[in-house]
Structure 1
């Protein structure tokens, strides 16, 4: 491993880009590894899950780039720039950097002074440094920004290359006007909406000038019972004009019944090149409109509040490229009168239209026909990696013995027909099996790759179940077995 050439090492280390602990360990192996890792670590040094308030070495390295006269000025203001580096830096660290995170930078500058004015001065000098030393700026998280960085002399050359911008709607519109003059090729725009009753005209202008917007994410971060003005209209009216160019759309907004959401509906109808559609609410779409939602390139479908009947329509109108179908279980389980029939159709639509599916939330009725279709799905969808199983008997009476027998049958089907790629199974809500059925399942799984299981049923935390699970962990049959809240079980992005 230590003798691999730098190109191969670079590719390997890039896979660890967000794992600072592993990257720091690699620094200590030898000089070649160190030289290869440093540019990766410093590409985005603000993204790691660490406490930046005590990372004095980061503060010292950045401050060492300041000119002597700037250091003298800041020292006179009472800013602590010590200890001084007595030898040259081994690397030109800032030349590798491609990102700015305003909140993290604010935390780092607090090391130099606890006074707000001094921190403001230090931040300004650091921004000037970045604009001089960065070769390009790809990522900017400007939440909590206080400096109009686009006025810095070198800013235009750096900001022209900006690919991703994270911001919130509380930022003064003038900041976005300044960016709109320079940044017209942003590909990823991520917005947190903290304004209750009005749009941010600066964000609207920034969207208007974009020529290559591929990814748009909007998250509401406020809680209010009564909105009088539509906070989405101005922004989404402009976004609608970019809809045909979007590949990824993620929306998490506060649904207000009194709003008509006509712009949202028009936007969804124009997503001709969409690959990722993640949205928390689609109740403003009627049945006839669902039939007109045709997404030929759709790969990821993640919707919270939607019935499986409506989901089946979207799947049928997709182009056969779906890799993930992730839905909120309780919404299409417990409140649907026609769940039995619609869940049967849903299973069929999956194996007929999603041959490449990898991540799937699957709800079905515990009946013989459903079991037959479930097994057929497993046989057809050979790329399946992660499966969330939700079964419901809300509309029929079953004895405890019948419930356990049905769940035992599900495990038998998995043993017979689960694709070899399946490495993760999630059992939603009260899914429980007998100790004997679980042991039989795990014993027969032993010839397959190790399995990760996630459940929300506390029965598996009993002593007998724990002993059985630990036995098969030690045998390499189980990679991980966790009992978590149902919120995590239904979230396909939650790592087991």
Structure 2
């Protein structure tokens, strides 16, 4: 295998692109393997580092991981003599030595993903005084833009005002950009996007974070309008519970203009996320949608009732529907118009009236394979409807149940008995998220899961937040049922994540 030609090796290593450990081991086989793996590893170095949220209001972490310092040192070795002389004149001497060894590879030429928040953290890892960071940033960006690289992804963090499009080489570097992620703020950062609109015409995936903070979206609109193959668009609001949510700018004209900018791309857009209530009839144009995600970060207003056109909507290609904080009536309407095409549904909403939702799924989702539901205590009155749902969806293979507000009165015993009794043969993968799930109810579920495929189960509950007490009892119980062939795999967590976060 070590003698396979480079083309074959490249195809093999491409399948391992997210497996850092395996790719690293391939570096040591021989020179050919090393030369083939290195460009894959350095295509997107940030994916192997500690994940950081680029939309934080504090752009630089107080503690920088050591990997950032290593990456900074590698980048610094690629700087030209001219750049180093400039930095010397600025008094940055501690990072520069007269004699240094060039890297074996020109790693900069392999970069395809330019994450500017990552660059900021890399610069901070050098512990250079704040007043001189601008000079370092300038020379690093000049290095990237003077290389032969053509980026396919660009990520711009919040409060970033460095005018990228004015850097020599920007037009070449961004000419083949396929993906752009941008984080809005209250300032006017639209100049960067207006500049990119003159360069980038091939963006397929476009994401705007903190869209509710946008006071001027001219650059966003322009960038969207000039694209030729726009396929995936996400307008994402702040996370629920964020302190910044109180500063949201509810300017309907902003959302309306964003929707109107999509009209030119009705033939190509297949994936859409909107974190506001549609202002226009945009959904009636996007007939090629494959995935639709609608979320609202604030309590829904009454004008949902004005969306009567949804009853006449046609989304013949829609397979995935996700709604958050959207009234059940609207979600049920969207399900009904798909006429059996949906394969995935996720509904996160605390609505006492779930009957219409269950009915819509029963009557219109015979091809459903994935279902994520949030339930409240009132859902206990709809156990029979839930059983009908299981009977109607015979292709269902994964079910996630979220009990909202961590309602300790939720009757898990009834729900779990229905699952054991009426789940289709294809369904044996479950996730349960709740403030409290009694051990007795779980044991009863296991006891009734007889002569079925061994289940894959994840339990996320406050009952099991430590290594002792009920968690230890549950883990012992799981081991027992693994031996009996009832369980194939089961993981237990404390309920540390909120299923209401807008992820």
**TM-score, structure 2 as length reference:** 0.78
Judged with a 3 Å threshold, the aligned counterparts in structure 2 of structure 1 residues 356 and 40 are, in CA distance, closer, same or farther, namely farther
Of 432, 435, 454, 1:426 maps to 432
Of 65, 69, 83, 1:56 maps to 69
CA distance in 1, matches of 2:156, 2:346: 31
Residue aligning to 1:257:
none
Residue aligning to 2:173:
158
Instruction: Tell me the CA shift for residue 430 of structure 1.
Output: 5.0
Judged with a 3 Å threshold, the aligned counterparts in structure 2 of structure 1 residues 194 and 118 are, in CA distance, closer, same or farther, namely farther
Instruction: Tell me the CA shift for residue 105 of structure 1.
Output: 0.8
2:466 matched to 1:466?
Answer: no
Of 270, 283, 287, 1:247 maps to 270
Secondary structure at 1:278's aligned position in 2? strand
Match runs of 1:28-427 below 5 Å: 28=28, 31-50=31-50, 51=64, 54-79=67-92, 80-82=94-96, 86-112=100-126, 114-143=128-157, 144-169=159-184, 170=187, 172-193=189-210, 196=213, 198-221=215-238, 222-224=244-246, 229-230=251-252, 232-233=254-255, 235-242=257-264, 244=266, 245-253=268-276, 264-281=279-296, 284-286=303-305, 288-318=308-338, 320-329=340-349, 331-332=350-351, 335-336=352-353, 339=354, 341-349=355-363, 352-361=364-373, 369-370=384-385, 372-378=387-393, 380-381=394-395, 384-388=397-401, 406-407=414-415, 409-413=417-421, 417-419=424-426, 422-426=428-432
Secondary structure at 2:47's aligned position in 1? coil
Secondary structure at 2:479's aligned position in 1? helix
Instruction: Tell me the CA shift for residue 285 of structure 1.
Output: 2.8
Judged with a 3 Å threshold, the aligned counterparts in structure 2 of structure 1 residues 194 and 252 are, in CA distance, closer, same or farther, namely closer
Q: Deviations over 1:187-227 (max 9, x none)?
A: 12211237747223222322232232222212233323785
Unaligned runs of 5+ in 1: 254-260
CA distance in 2, matches of 1:127, 1:459: 48
Secondary structure at 2:45's aligned position in 1? coil
CA contact (8 A) 2:49 2:67 kept: no
CA distance in 2, matches of 1:191, 1:404: 39
CA distance in 2, matches of 1:195, 1:437: 46
CA contact (8 A) 1:112 1:119 kept: no
Q: Deviations over 1:36-60 (max 9, x none)?
A: 3322211111233335565333223
Q: Deviations over 1:5-47 (max 9, x none)?
A: 6556544544553454554454345545433332221111123
Instruction: Tell me the CA shift for residue 323 of structure 1.
Output: 2.5
Match runs of 1:22-33 below 5 Å: 23-28=23-28, 31-33=31-33
CA distance in 2, matches of 1:177, 1:489: 36
Q: Which moved more, 1:195-204 or 1:242-251?
A: 195-204
CA distance in 2, matches of 1:28, 1:44: 20
Judged with a 3 Å threshold, the aligned counterparts in structure 2 of structure 1 residues 348 and 127 are, in CA distance, closer, same or farther, namely same
Unaligned runs of 5+ in 2: 51-63, 239-243
Judged with a 3 Å threshold, the aligned counterparts in structure 2 of structure 1 residues 269 and 431 are, in CA distance, closer, same or farther, namely farther
CA distance in 1, matches of 2:477, 2:42: 45
How many residue pairs match? The answer is 464
Residue aligning to 1:256:
none
CA contact (8 A) 2:457 2:490 kept: yes
**TM-score, structure 1 as length reference:** 0.79
Judged with a 3 Å threshold, the aligned counterparts in structure 2 of structure 1 residues 438 and 489 are, in CA distance, closer, same or farther, namely farther
Judged with a 3 Å threshold, the aligned counterparts in structure 2 of structure 1 residues 469 and 492 are, in CA distance, closer, same or farther, namely farther
Secondary structure at 2:312's aligned position in 1? coil
CA distance in 2, matches of 1:129, 1:441: 64
Q: CA RMSD in A?
A: 3.8
CA distance in 1, matches of 2:125, 2:248: 42
